[in-house]
Amino acid sequence: MMEPKVRVLVVDDDVVVARTVQRILATREYEVEHVGAPDEVRDLLERRVAVEDWDAIVLDVNIGELNGLRVLAALRDAGNRTAVVMLTGDDTASTATAALRGGAFHYLVKPINAPMLLEVVDLAVRHTAVHRDLARPGDREATPGLIAGKSPAMAELRRMVPRIAGTSVSVLITGESGTGKEVLARTLHQASPRSKKAFVALNCGAIPEGLIDSELFGHTRGAFTGATSARPGVFVEADGGTLFLDEIGDMPLPVQARLLRALQEREVRPVGSDSVRPVDARVIAATNVDLARAVEAGKFRADLYFRLNVVSLRIPPLRERPEDIPGLISTLVQRHAAGQTPTIDEDALAAMVAYP
Mean per-residue pLDDT over the chain, rounded: 86
Q: Check residue 145 and give its pLDDT.
A: 52
pTM of the model: 0.82
- Conformation bin of residue 345: beta by default, left when phi > 0, alpha when psi is -120 to 50: beta
pLDDT surpasses 60 at 140 = no
Q: Closest Cα to residue 9, out of 42, 53, 49, 40?
A: 53
Where does the pLDDT of residue 199 fall: very low under 50, low under 70, confident under 90, or very high at 90 and above? very high
Is residue 8 over pLDDT 90? yes
Please report the sign of the dihedral spanned by the C-alpha atoms of residue 150, residue 246, residue 269, residue 226: negative
Q: What pLDDT score does 327 carry? A: 82
Length of the chain: 356
pLDDT 10s digits, 156-179: 888 888 889 988 889 999 999 989
Counts of helices then strands in the chain (DSSP H, E): 14, 14
Domain locations in the chain? 7-134, 140-319, 321-354
pLDDT above 80 (res 110): yes
Vertex 336: Cα angle to 335 and 340 (nearest 5): 90
Dihedral over alpha carbons 212, 217, 221, 222 (to 10 degrees): -50
CATH 3.40.50.2300 fits 7-134, yes or no: yes
pLDDT value at 146 more than 70: no
* DSSP per residue, 66-117: EEHHHHHHHHHHTT----EEEEES--SHHHHHHHHHTT-SEEEESSP-HHHH
Q: Do 7-134 and 140-319 have matching folds?
A: yes
pLDDT reading at 90 higher than 80: no
Query: How far is residue 149's CA from residue 318's CA, in Å, rounded to a whole number?
Result: 10
129 or 287, greater pLDDT: 287
The CATH number assigned to the domain with range 140-319 reads: 3.40.50.300
Q: What is the pLDDT of residue 137?
A: 67
Q: Give residues with Cβ within 8 angstroms of 166, minimum separation 6.
A: 191, 192, 193
